[in-house]
Each structure stands twice: as C-alpha cells, then as structure tokens.
Amino acid sequence: MRRTAVLAALFLATVAWAAELYKVGDTVADATLTMADGKDAKLSSWEGNAVVLFFYGTWQKRAPDMAAKVDSIRKARAKQKLTVVGVARDGKADEAKKFGEDHKLGFPQAADSKAELYGKFATKGLPYVVVMDGKRKLTYSAAGVDEEAVESALAAILGAKDPPPEKDEKKKDDAGSEGAGKK
C-alpha cells in the first residue's frame, strides 16, 4: 500500500512538472542566457526577430553535424530578422565557445549549465530546437534537427528564404572574351 502511494505521488509530480513545459502557442517568459563571451543576454534583447535556440551537448558525437544543419538554415535567411543561438545544455561558457569555434559556426553560443532553460522546453532529447516569433511566441519545439519542420516554422514567421545569390555569368563570359586574342 505504501509503495503504491509513493508511486502515485511520483507520477503526479512528474505530470505536474511536465505541465510546466512550454507548448507551441505559449509566450516564453524572458530568460537570461550566459553567452560564450561571459556576458549575459536576455531573450527580450532579440525581440522583433525570430529566434532559434539550438540546444546541444558538447559531448555528443552528432552535435557538430546537427549544428551545421542549423547554421545552413541561418545562412539561407541571413538578410532576415533571425537570431540563432546555440545553447550548450549542462555546459560551461568556455565549452560552448570552443564548440562554436571548433566547428566554425556563424551563430553565437551560450551555456545552460544547469539545464534550466532547456528544462522549460523539454525533459529529454538532444539536440533540441526551439523557434519563437518576434514576440517570443513558441512556434516550434522538438528534439532533433528536422530541417523541413524548422524551415516551415520560420517561413510562417519570416516568409520565404533569401533568394540565392545571383551568378553574373554574363560578366564572367564578357571578361573572358575581352582578354581572348590579346597578347
């Protein structure tokens, strides 16, 4: 009987904790991130921009590949109001900085040393991606890096991706033909 009561209490505590997780459609409260440079940044400092938080473990073998996918998403929207931040769950600022530098990521890194911010979105799963609109409304939240799903969430906020840079083949051809035959 006592064992059943303890199990019931643990189950209720788990359900209550899970109910605290943000769900798509919720407005995310302002939070402070410890950036890799040692400074603090608030989520509200990026208000007006869509925000992608990429939670990862510096120890994970697949984290660099997943980070590269997130960086590709960022690059495709470089001219838009998008902020991408890598967040090392259970990591330190210096580890996050090293991860970003080692893998040549074009987005800032932060540390969530006690997994406090991560714990507001998920209970398990890394990497984990969160997308918020410019008013911190949660539009996407899932484990893994599903590029199509992340892109769909961003398209709903920002519209189409940036067009690819135009290749000016005519100028290259003209330049090549002008020099031909001259000695």
Kindly report, residue by residue over 22-59, the tens digit of the pLDDT: 999 999 999 999 999 999 999 999 999 999 999 999 99
Q: Are 69 and 34 in contact (CB under 8 A)?
A: no
CATH number of 21-161: 3.40.30.10
Q: Of 72, 74, 69, whose CA–CA distance to 85 is shortest?
A: 74
Kindly report, residue by residue over 108-139, the tens digit of the pLDDT: 999 999 999 999 999 999 999 999 999 999 99
- For the chain, what is the mean pLDDT? 86
pTM attached to this predicted model? 0.81
Residue bearing the bigger pLDDT, 137 or 173:
137
Q: How confident is the model at residue 1 (pLDDT cuts 50, 70, 90)?
A: low
Paired tokens of 74:
């960022």
Q: What pLDDT is attached to residue 166?
A: 75
